[in-house]
C-alpha cells in the first residue's frame, strides 16, 4: 500500500555524478540561462489512476533535502576538481517543486521542468527514479526476491572479472527501487574481484566508499548548439569543459550530433587532452573501430586511451565488445538498467530531455539530439532537419 506522503530520497547526492559536474560548470559559466525539460515515455507505459498525485507528493518531499556536513566533506575529499564555491552553493541548494509540472490524462503522463538551468539541471535523474519506483508500486508488480537479485548480480560481476574488464554501476535513473539499488550495490561491493570500478550515483559511492563516476551528458552539447550553433557545438562544449576542469573529468561524450561529426572537431588537442570517449548509441564495435582509427590518425596510441561503453549493456554485449576490443584500446563499461532493474519485470523505457534554452539573445530556442541511432533523435522536427542539413548528416 502506498503512503500518501511518498518519500524515497533521503540524500541530495542520490543523483548521477554528471549532474553535479555539469551544474558546477553551469553555475560558473552560464548562470543566467533558463531551460525546459520534458518527460518522454518511450516504452508507452500506461500509468494507473492516482499516479499524478503520488508523484506530486514525492516531488514535494524533495524540497526537504539538503547537503549534510558528512556529504560536503565527502565531496571535498573525493572530488577536488569541484571548486569550493560550488560546494558551498550546493550546501545552500534546495529543490523547488514549483519547477516541476505534472499532468495525468487517463493513462498518459506529462511532466515538464522549467527554470534557471543551474537549478533545474538536478531534477532529471530523481524524477525518472521516482516515476519508475512509483510505477511498480501502483501497478502492484512484485520483483524477484532479494536473494535472487543478489545471486544474478554476483553472476554478472564474476563474469566481468573473468573477462578482465572494469564496470561501473550506472543505474539510478531507471532503477526498480532505491531498495533494489542498495541490494545491487551491496553485492557489487562485497565481491572482492577487481572489476567493480564505482558508481555514477554519488550517494551510493559515498555509502560504499567507491569512486563517483561521470563527466557530462547530452544536454551540455545541446545547450552549446542552441547558444553557438550546430557547427560549433562540439568544439565549444569541449573548450568550456576544459576551461572549468583543466584536464580532470576527461571523458568526452561523442554522439550528441553523431560520432562522425564529433570526430571532425575532436582534433589532436582534444584527443590528447581527454582521457577517452563514451559510447552511448549505435553499433559499439563499429564505434570502437572509428575511435581507434581516429586516435591513430592523430599519432596517438589507442592503448593509452579508452572507451566507456554505456548503451543498454548486458553480459552478452559486454562479452562481445570485450572480445572485439581487448588489446586494441582501453575499455570499461557503465551498466545501468541491467543491474538495477533486472528483477523479473519489464524495465521502464523512459527519459527526460532538455527541450529549450533561453540563450544570451533572450530568445527561447529548441534543442535537439542526433544520436548514432535515428530512432533516438529527440527534439523539434524542424530543428532536427536544420541540424542535419547544416552538419551534412544523411
Q: For the segment 84-124, what is each residue's pLDDT rounded down to a tens digit? A: 999 999 999 999 999 999 999 999 999 999 999 999 999 99
**Is the residue at 232 inside a domain?**
yes
Decide if 34 is inside a domain: no
Q: With cut-offs at 50, 70 and 90, classify the pLDDT of residue 362.
A: confident
Query: Residue 252's CB: how many other CB atoms inside 10 A?
Result: 22
Measured distance CA(261)–CA(158) in Å, rounded: 37
Length of the chain, in residues: 394
How many folded domains does the chain comprise?
1
CATH, residue 233: 3.20.140.10
Report pLDDT for 6: 67
Tell me if 384 is assigned to some domain. Answer: no
Confidence band of 360 (pLDDT split at 50, 70, 90): confident
- At 217-243, the pLDDT tens digits run 999 999 999 999 999 999 999 999 999
pLDDT of amino acid 394: 81
Going by pLDDT thresholds of 50, 70 and 90, the confidence category of residue 1 is very low
Q: How does residue 5 score in pLDDT terms, banded at 50, 70 and 90? A: low
Average pLDDT, the chain: 96
Q: What is the pLDDT of residues 159-179, one digit of tens each?
A: 999 999 999 999 999 999 999
**Domain span holding position 213:** 146-340
pTM of the model: 0.97
Q: Is residue 174 part of a domain?
A: yes
Q: Rounded CA gap, 393 and 370, in Å?
A: 9
Share of the chain above pLDDT 90, in %: 93
Using the predicted structure, report yes or no on whether residue 3 has a pLDDT greater than 70. no
Nearest to 333 by CA among 159, 109, 107, 181: 159
Give the pLDDT of residue 140. 96
Residue 46 within any structural domain of the chain: no
Report if residue 105 sits inside a domain. Answer: no
In a domain, 99, yes or no: no
Residue 122 belongs to some domain of the structure:
no
Amino acid at each position: 500500500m502506498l503512503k500518501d506522503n511518498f518519500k524515497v530520497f533521503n540524500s541530495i547526492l542520490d543523483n548521477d555524478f554528471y549532474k553535479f559536474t555539469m551544474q558546477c560548470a553551469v553555475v560558473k559559466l552560464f548562470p543566467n540561462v533558463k531551460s525546459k525539460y520534458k518527460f518522454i515515455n518511450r516504452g508507452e507505459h500506461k500509468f494507473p489512476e492516482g499516479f499524478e498525485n503520488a508523484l506530486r507528493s514525492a516531488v514535494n518531499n524533495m524540497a526537504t533535502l539538503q547537503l549534510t556536513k558528512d556529504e560536503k566533506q565527502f565531496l571535498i575529499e573525493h572530488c577536488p576538481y569541484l571548486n569550493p564555491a560550488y560546494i558551498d552553493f550546493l550546501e545552500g541548494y534546495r529543490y523547488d517543486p514549483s519547477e516541476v509540472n505534472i499532468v495525468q490524462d487517463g493513462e498518459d503522463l506529462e511532466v515538464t521542468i522549467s527554470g534557471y538551468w543551474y537549478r533545474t539541471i538536478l531534477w532529471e535523474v530523481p524524477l525518472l527514479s521516482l516515476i519508475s519506483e512509483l510505477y511498480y508500486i501502483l501497478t502492484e508488480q512484485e520483483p524477484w526476491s532479494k536473494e535472487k537479485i543478489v545471486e544474478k548480480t554476483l553472476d554478472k560481476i564474476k563474469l566481468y572479472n573473468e573477462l578482465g574488464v572494469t564496470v561501473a554501476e550506472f543505474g539510478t535513473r531507471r532503477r526498480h527501487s532505491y531498495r533494489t539499488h542498495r541490494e545491487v550495490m551491496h553485492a557489487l561491493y562485497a565481491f572482492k574481484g577487481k572489476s567493480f570500478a564505482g558508481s555514477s550515483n554519488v550517494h551510493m559511492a559515498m555509502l560504499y566508499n567507491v569512486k563517483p563516476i561521470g563527466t557530462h551528458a547530452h544536454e551540455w552539447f545541446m545547450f552549446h548548439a542552441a547558444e553557438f550553433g550546430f557547427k560549433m557545438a562540439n568544439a565549444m562544449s569541449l573548450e568550456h569543459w576544459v576551461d572549468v576542469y583543466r584536464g580532470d573529468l576527461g571523458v568526452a561524450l561523442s554522439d550528441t550530433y553523431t560520432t562522425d561529426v564529433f570526430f571532425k572537431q575532436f582534433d589532436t588537442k582534444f584527443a590528447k587532452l581527454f582521457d577517452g570517449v563514451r559510447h552511448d548509441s549505435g553499433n559499439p564495435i563499429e564505434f570502437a573501430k572509428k575511435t581507434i582509427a581516429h586516435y591513430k590518425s592523430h599519432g596517438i596510441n589507442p592503448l593509452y586511451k579508452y572507451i566507456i561503453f554505456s548503451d543498454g549493456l548486458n553480459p552478452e554485449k559486454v562479452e562481445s565488445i570485450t572480445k572485439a576490443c581487448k588489446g586494441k584500446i582501453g575499455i570499461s563499461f557503465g551498466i545501468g538498467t541491467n543491474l538495477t532493474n533486472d528483477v523479473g519485470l519489464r524495465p521502464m523505457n523512459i527519459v527526460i530531455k532538455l527541450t529549450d534554452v533561453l540563450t544570451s539573445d533572450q530568445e527561447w530556442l529548441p534543442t535537439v539530439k542526433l544520436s548514432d541511432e535515428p530512432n533516438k533523435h529527440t527534439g523539434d522536427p524542424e530543428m532536427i532537419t536544420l541540424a542535419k542539413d547544416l552538419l551534412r548528416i544523411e
